[in-house]
Amino acid sequence: MKQTGRKIVKLASYAYSRWIDAAADAQPVASAIDGATVALASSSDVDFAAVAQHARQRGLPALRRLTFQGRAGLLKKLAQHLSDHKAALYDLSFQTGATKRDSAIDIDGGIGTLFAYAGLGRRELPDSNILLDGPLLPLSRQGSFVGRHIETPLDGIAIHVNAYNFPCWGMLEKLAPALLAGVPCIVKPATQTAYLTAAMVRLIVDSGLLPEGVLQLICGRLGDLLDHVTGQDLVSFTGSLETSLVLRNHPAVARNATRFVAERDSLNAAILGTDVAPGSPEFDIFIREVAREMTVKAGQKCTAVRRILVPAATIDAVSGALAEKLSRVVVGDPRVEGVTMGPLVGLDQREDVRRRIEALRAEADLVLGDIDNPAVKGADAARGGYLPPILLRARDPKQAAALHQVEAFGPVATLVAYDDVTDAVALSRRGEGSLVATAVTRDPEVAAELAFGLASYHGRLHLIDRDSAGESTGHGSPLPGLVHGGPGRAGGGEELGGIRGVHHYLQRTAVQGSPALLTRLAGHWNKGAPEVAENIHPFRRGFEALALGETIHTRPRTVTLADIEHFAHFTGDTFYAHMDEAAAKANPFFPGRVAHGYLILSFAAGLFVEPAPGPVLANYGLDSLRFLKPVSPDDTIAVRLTVKQKSPRNADYGEVRWDVEVTNQNGETVATYELLTLNALTERAA
């Protein structure tokens, strides 16, 4: 291994709140650019039982003392801190072979994911440690016995074994949902690029933001850490199929049914629609998208395009245009001006990719790319993992095997001719489960047929045409709000997907009992639970003072025909059901003319509102509105208004969800809904 004057970092692991230096048996970690040693790594001096214990005894209670909202606040501070200090990471990132654009995806993309989860947590999760899953279910005739599902944080730890290709994003995209859920993490980055992950972890540790034991880092092997997992833990893996099998079948993981999430090999496809002709905007979009997804991160992306499916009639045009575009890629030292694609992570990886190209070439012709003597700018091709874009063309896609099984984890993709949409679907499916497929088509029928055929084999489908391409986030970008993962060969795991990503770290439990017990437990009042009466109108009481179940019953109000007609002419809603007795009678739902639903809502508000300035700041909307029984002229309505749920939003106000029931003179329910108001935290009015 080449040595230079560059400082070699002895990579420390961060275990039990201490930095443990690389042990004496440390192995060199090579720069992707020139093979020089950038770091030495070994975790042999780490006591893995103590790592697991530290996470359980220190990190776990510290996180459980916070609520979902509290942890969302922590994520936001962490994201801000990393954003303020990220510049130092960019320089180091070059050594992984990343260009500046690649580094932005890794570093800024990772920090952006943290910010996104902070926002999701703040907006969508409660200020408690119990998340409700679905509605309350009536389980008895009298309503005294009900059930519902709740979710609570696992009483365990998360072990994240990550791939080399995204040392920052790969850590943060798993860390964000785990910490939001309340589960401490032990991160084991791939050794080849662990120096960049370690630099980011050092920034996190130095910030002092995370409580002790919440985050630990293993630089080097995983040791016997998996021997210490329990049924409350989660192991999340990104990497090769082979390693995923080793970890999934680890005796402790298998025995304890420890949750296991895997993301691994994926033979992602880009499909050109049968409707797209050369020269059309969609044709150009396809060429651009495929070329980009082959070359970003030198193709070392789990989402990179490996199979390019094109109608047989168009394949020559696609092959020519793609080859022309790819031939303009400048491979070299990513620090050098003009270089658009860096090296693979190392010489071993290049050898691995070359072997896989050989396997593919048994079934495909080489269209573009000098595999053995790449032209390289500003670097020595013999010392770094340089490889140009390699474009292949399958000779007989239906008979091919390697095409659908071998993931060459570099800038390598194969053109595949297909006959019709059915054939395109069948060929894509032979990848046996992928993370993502892109289809470029302007024909909604083609898009729908492809999507239905491909969806169960994919975690994400990216359907683009000229209308969306300009703003598309791209085939290869997992987004915090959308699911990232895929079935079958891709691992069967799911990451991200907004709050879905948090659910992996929560246990769902069915709870049965009386409405009163479930109100306290779930922080959510439901009809049947005791009502709380106060002397003061709830609109005059500040957010903190309001109690769950606090209820007012309004005076009654009679709805006259004159009211209905006035409302109709005032709003312009002269729909026949309100204005034409004969037509209304002919309608199977109405006994004759009836009041507008919106009139009922408006009168309800008129009945329960307390008008003077006070803590209620705004009407924020309605949920679950149902009109259950018509209101006829001269019916009398009254309202029950009850505090259903309270969610603090910030230091100034919180959201109050009110359970509203409108009844008629016979006690029958005519409408139900949930009203949302924003209420000041302190009482503003006497």
Q: State in angstroms the smallest separation of the CB of 682 from ligand NDP.
A: 50
The span from the CA of 482 to the CA of 473, in Å, is 12
- Residue 677 CB, shortest distance to ligand NDP, in Å, is 46
- Nearer to ligand NDP (CB atom), residue 191 or residue 663: 191
Among the listed residues 624, 626, 606, the one whose alpha carbon sits nearest the alpha carbon of residue 669:
626
Nearer to ligand NDP, 28 or 281 (CB): 28
Nearer to ligand NDP, 69 or 428 (CB): 428
CB of 265 to ligand NDP, least distance (A): 5
In the bound state with ligand NDP, the residue whose beta carbon lies nearer, of 148 and 264, is 264
The residue from 42, 99, 197, 238 that contacts ligand NDP (CB under 6 A) is 238
With CB under 6 A as the contact rule, the residue among 165, 197, 551, 642 that binds ligand NDP is: 165
Answer for which of 117, 164, 608, 658 binds ligand NDP (CB under 6 A) is 164
Helix (H, G, I), strand (E, B) or coil at 61: helix
Residues 240-259 that bind ligand NDP (CB under 6 A): 240, 243, 246-247
The structure tokens 């952006």 sit at 112
Strands (E), 241-361: 259-263, 269-272, 307-311
Q: Which of residues 92-121 bind ligand NDP (CB under 6 A)?
A: none
Give the residue, chosen from 26, 33, 107, 161, that forms a contact with ligand NDP under the rule CB under 6 A: 161
Distance CA 675, CA 663 (A): 16
Q: Decide: residue 586, CB within 10 A, 0-12 exposed, 13-18 middle, 19+ buried.
A: exposed
* Single residue of 265, 465, 494, 563 touching ligand NDP by CB under 6 A: 265
Identify the helix (H) or strand (E) that includes residue 158. strand 158-161
Closer Cβ to ligand NDP, 263 or 293, answer by number:
263
Beta-bridge partners for 131: 151
- Distance, C-alpha 627 to centroid of its chain: 36
Per-residue binding string, ligand NDP, 172-201, x by CB under 6 A, is ----------------x-xxx---------
Structure-token pair, residue 96: 């992984």
> In this structure, are strands 234-238 and 158-161 parallel, antiparallel, or unpaired?
parallel
Among the options 151, 173, 263, 494, which is catalytic?
263
> Which residues, at least 6 apart from 84, have a Cβ–Cβ distance to it below 8 Å?
none
Among residues 79, 136, 163, 601, the one that binds ligand NDP under rule CB under 6 A: 163
Burial class (CB in 10 A: 0-12, 13-18, 19+), 405: middle
Kindly state the smallest distance separating residue 401's Cβ from ligand NDP, in Å: 17
Q: Which long-range contacts (CB under 8 A, 24 or more apart) does 463-469 make?
A: 463/438, 463/439, 464/285, 464/289, 464/438, 464/439, 464/440, 465/281, 465/282, 465/285, 465/440, 465/441, 466/281, 466/282, 466/285, 466/442, 469/281, 469/285, 469/289
What number of chain residues touch ligand NDP (CB under 6 A)? Answer: 25
489 interacts with ligand NDP by CB under 6 A: no
Q: Where are the beta strands (DSSP E) in 75-145?
A: 131-138
Shortest distance (Å) from residue 431 CB to ligand NDP: 12
Q: Shortest distance, CB of residue 202 to ligand NDP, whole angstroms?
A: 19
Contacts of 168 (CB under 8 A, 6+ apart): 89, 93, 106, 107, 109, 110, 111, 196, 197, 200
Residues of this chain, 208-227, that bind ligand NDP according to CB under 6 A: 221-222
Nearer to ligand NDP, 173 or 661 (CB): 173
Q: What's the token pair of residue 355? A: 């072997």
Q: How far apart are alpha carbons 229 and 232 in whole angstroms?
A: 8
CB nearer to ligand NDP: give 167 or 538: 167
Q: Nearer to ligand NDP by C-beta: 221 or 527? A: 221
- The Cα diameter of the chain in Å comes to 95
Based on CB atoms, which residue is closest to ligand NDP, 150 or 413? 413
Tell me which of 275, 352, 544, 580 binds ligand NDP, using CB under 6 A: 352
Given 168, 185, 219, 302, which residue is catalytic?
302
In the complex, least distance from residue 345 CB atom to ligand NDP, rounded to whole angstroms:
8
Question: Two tokens at 527?
Answer: 């009809």
**Sole window of 264-272, 445-453, 592-600, 671-679 interacting with ligand NDP (rule: CB under 6 A):** 264-272
Of 264 and 646, which has the nearer Cβ to ligand NDP? 264
Letter for the amino acid at 122? R
Token pair belonging to 608: 């329960």
In the bound complex, what is the minimum distance in angstroms from residue 605's beta carbon to ligand NDP?
53
Q: Identify the CA nearest to 206 among candidates 17, 61, 50.
A: 17
Q: 170 exposed, middle or buried (CB, 10 Å; 0-12, 13-18, 19+)?
A: buried
d(CA 616, CA 621) in angstroms, rounded, equals 13
Please give the structure tokens belonging to residue 43: 């975790």
> Nearest approach, Cβ of 249 to ligand NDP (angstroms)?
11
Nearest approach, Cβ of residue 163 and ligand NDP (Å): 3
432 classed as catalytic: no
Choices 57-65, 179-187, 261-269, 463-471; region in contact with ligand NDP by CB under 6 A: 261-269
Binding track, positions 278-307, relative to ligand NDP; x by CB under 6 A: ------------------------x-----
Of the candidates 295, 358, 301, 368, which has an alpha carbon nearest to the alpha carbon of residue 332?
Answer: 295
- Indicate if 263 belongs to the active site: yes
Residue closer to ligand NDP (CB basis): 497 or 654: 497
Choose, by CB under 6 A, the member of 263, 333, 363, 550 that binds ligand NDP.
Answer: 263
- In the complex, the smallest distance separating the C-beta of residue 13 from ligand NDP, rounded to whole angstroms, is 12
Residues of this chain, 401-430, that bind ligand NDP according to CB under 6 A: 407, 409
- Residues annotated as catalytic are 263, 302
| Site residues (vs ligand NDP, CB under 6 A) | 161-165, 188, 190-192, 221-222, 238-240, 243, 246-247, 263-266, 302, 352, 407, 409
